[in-house]
Chains A and B, each alone.
Chain A
């Protein structure tokens, strides 16, 4: 299995890919390493004197209306946002790949049933679907948020994988493996999946940006990550009331969203071109 490394290498040679991956790596690294060195993102040290302070040396990003250090909250929010994004994307890629592999390999009635299900699911706006489910819970645990976002994100992926499988199925080596008496499991996971990995990887990378935006949107609507846990979308929601007097409370989480999503998409674009030179 050399190919995925070859693609990553080719994406790295692309300036977009290098910039995207580098920024993502820095964000992830800071999210993992930095919190112990920063103030508590949840505690409210001095609500009367320390709220809505503009950026300064003590608080590089300023403080919010509850006197919490915004830098600490943005960094801590990165943990949440990236964590939710990676886990949800991993879940939806797994589901999408499984459904696509099964539908494409078995074909016939199985394929028909699964794809009609997907058609139906794709006809409902994802945000609407999520609002419907999340509105039931007063407090949504982050784990549940991951599950819901992941479970509503695999429909397009399954069609993508199914299409690839239909193409690969016609390749001689799949027939050769069948003629060899290779078990179905092996054919699906060792012959079909690795050869369908390229578009899956691209979809996953681009999906990370989507999910960060989605989670930010949900949190902004109060349906995502619940306070006081910091999340980028939730911070912008908090900033709404002081937007004019303390704009930094919205600007920094907003920048964090924009930079992270942009990096993920840049890397995704580079990866897509690396995987499929024709799309360049």
Chain B
């Protein structure tokens, strides 16, 4: 497998009164060709900011901290400026945003907007761009694609708009597709169709997909690997099957316990007490400590990502004594 993306120690900071906060604080992951990595976490955990940082789109006044590394193949993204930076946006990494209602320009037709993506990176005529836009719409499964080319975004349903968004993201034939909550704004029935499209494109084009979501349900069966984020850090990382078989970090276990299960004994849902603290209010030591039922003395200091088994790591001192890894959310019943 060839490595297409390598992110090491990514930190994103924002100035606040009296200093800086780090909503993304030391995130590392890699992505291989044809692979799907799911970045899972609650809102505010830094997952969207991580994806924006990949394209250097962190909104002002935020910045990516020195020492962070983002490599696209051989390209050092953080050293790029101006035209060189523009050329990786869309061309190397395509991005699908959460809300297809607001991510399309209301005053241009669908065909124009897909064509814009083509013409931003390839020196083709309008006619040729239109032709490619049509093929892209067909590729993402847009019904009656030819007629849709000349429609405006408000004339389309949510699912169709998201298909348009995907077509736009594909316009410059990127090797990586970043999908930030691609189905959150959609009906459940449409969600499955959109995920289907993404999966098919990954297979057909050999793209790598970074799937950003808060929904563990859409991860299963779609992603090869999962990274769970909490408070700006990756807290657990594993192959999807391993994570679902053996969620190990207390936060991951909490996530699973707060999702209803279809099979197995009926259990009361166990919400994680409290809520994700703001970046300015992160506790010292393990950031999950105040909400964690298994916190102990050692949690006062920040754990690194510790190995559990091959390819499975978590940011919890409990990894040192794997025997204690009984699921704290279900073992009392």
Q: Do A and B interact?
A: yes
Could you list which residues of chain A lie within 8 angstroms of chain B, going by C-beta atoms?
1-3, 107-108, 171-173, 175-183, 186, 190-191, 194-195
Once the chains bind, are B104 and A176 in contact (CB under 8 Å)? yes
A178 → chain B closest CB, angstroms: 6
Once the chains bind, are B105 and A191 in contact (CB under 8 Å)? yes
Could you list which residues of chain B lie within 8 angstroms of chain A, going by C-beta atoms?
55, 57, 60, 86-91, 93-95, 97, 99, 102-108, 116-117, 120-121, 152, 165, 168-169, 171-172
Given contacts A181-B120, A181-B121, A195-B107, 8 further A-B contacts (CB under 8 A): A107-B60, A172-B97, A173-B103, A176-B95, A179-B95, A180-B120, A181-B172, A183-B120
B91 — nearest CB in chain A belongs to which residue? A181
Q: What are 27 A-to-B residue pairs whose CB atoms are below 8 Å?
A: A107-B60, A108-B60, A172-B102, A172-B103, A173-B102, A175-B103, A176-B103, A176-B104, A177-B105, A177-B116, A179-B55, A179-B57, A179-B89, A179-B90, A179-B97, A180-B90, A180-B120, A181-B87, A181-B89, A181-B90, A182-B117, A186-B116, A186-B120, A190-B108, A190-B116, A195-B105, A195-B107
Once the chains bind, are B103 and A195 in contact (CB under 8 Å)? no
B210 → chain A closest CB, angstroms: 13
B63 → chain A closest CB, angstroms: 13
B46 → chain A closest CB, angstroms: 17
In Å, the complex CA distance between A108 and B60 comes to 9
- Per DSSP, chain A at the interface is helix
A153 → chain B closest CB, angstroms: 26
Once the chains bind, are A180 and B103 in contact (CB under 8 Å)? no
Partner of B120 from the list A2, A182, A194 (CB cut-off 8 Å) is: A182
- Per DSSP, chain B at the interface is loop
A4 → chain B closest CB, angstroms: 9
Once the chains bind, are A180 and B87 in contact (CB under 8 Å)? no
Once the chains bind, are B102 and A180 in contact (CB under 8 Å)? no
Once the chains bind, are B152 and A2 in contact (CB under 8 Å)? yes
Known contacts A107-B60, A175-B57, A175-B97; A180 and B171 CB within 8 A of each other = yes
Once the chains bind, are B105 and A181 in contact (CB under 8 Å)? no
Once the chains bind, are A180 and B108 in contact (CB under 8 Å)? no
Partner of B104 from the list A107, A173, A178 (CB cut-off 8 Å) is: A173
Which residues of the other chain, B, contact A176 by a CB distance below 8 angstroms? 95, 97, 103-104, 165, 168
In Å, the complex CA distance between A191 and B120 comes to 14
Which residues of the other chain, B, contact A180 by a CB distance below 8 angstroms? 89-90, 94-95, 116-117, 120, 168-169, 171-172
A111 → chain B closest CB, angstroms: 11
In Å, the complex CA distance between A50 and B232 comes to 89
In Å, the complex CA distance between A172 and B102 comes to 5
Which residues of the other chain, B, contact A191 by a CB distance below 8 angstroms? 105
Once the chains bind, are A195 and B97 in contact (CB under 8 Å)? no
A164 → chain B closest CB, angstroms: 13
In Å, the complex CA distance between A178 and B93 comes to 12
Q: Of residues B90, B107, B108, B169, which shows the largest number of chain A Cβ atoms within 10 Å of its Cβ? A: B107
B165 → chain A closest CB, angstroms: 7
A195 → chain B closest CB, angstroms: 6
A4 — nearest CB in chain B belongs to which residue? B107
Once the chains bind, are B172 and A171 in contact (CB under 8 Å)? no
Q: Which 6 A-B pairs have the closest CB atoms?
A: A181-B89, A181-B90, A172-B103, A172-B102, A180-B90, A179-B95
A1 — nearest CB in chain B belongs to which residue? B107
Which residues of the other chain, B, contact A171 by a CB distance below 8 angstroms? 102
In Å, the complex CA distance between A3 and B86 comes to 30
Which residues of the other chain, A, contact B88 by a CB distance below 8 angstroms? 181
In Å, the complex CA distance between A211 and B55 comes to 46
Once the chains bind, are A173 and B172 in contact (CB under 8 Å)? no
Which residues of the other chain, A, contact B106 by a CB distance below 8 angstroms? 173, 195
A178 — nearest CB in chain B belongs to which residue? B57
Which residues of the other chain, B, contact A175 by a CB distance below 8 angstroms? 57, 97, 103
In Å, the complex CA distance between A195 and B104 comes to 12
B18 → chain A closest CB, angstroms: 22
In Å, the complex CA distance between A172 and B90 comes to 15
Once the chains bind, are A172 and B116 in contact (CB under 8 Å)? no
Which residues of the other chain, A, contact B117 by a CB distance below 8 angstroms? 180-182
In Å, the complex CA distance between A186 and B117 comes to 11
Which residues of the other chain, B, contact A108 by a CB distance below 8 angstroms? 60
B200 → chain A closest CB, angstroms: 22
B283 → chain A closest CB, angstroms: 32
Once the chains bind, are A178 and B105 in contact (CB under 8 Å)? no
In Å, the complex CA distance between A235 and B97 comes to 62
In Å, the complex CA distance between A194 and B106 comes to 10
In Å, the complex CA distance between A180 and B164 comes to 13
A180 → chain B closest CB, angstroms: 4
A182 → chain B closest CB, angstroms: 5
In Å, the complex CA distance between A181 and B85 comes to 8
A196 → chain B closest CB, angstroms: 11
In Å, the complex CA distance between A178 and B117 comes to 10
A14 → chain B closest CB, angstroms: 22
Which residues of the other chain, B, contact A172 by a CB distance below 8 angstroms? 97, 99, 102-104
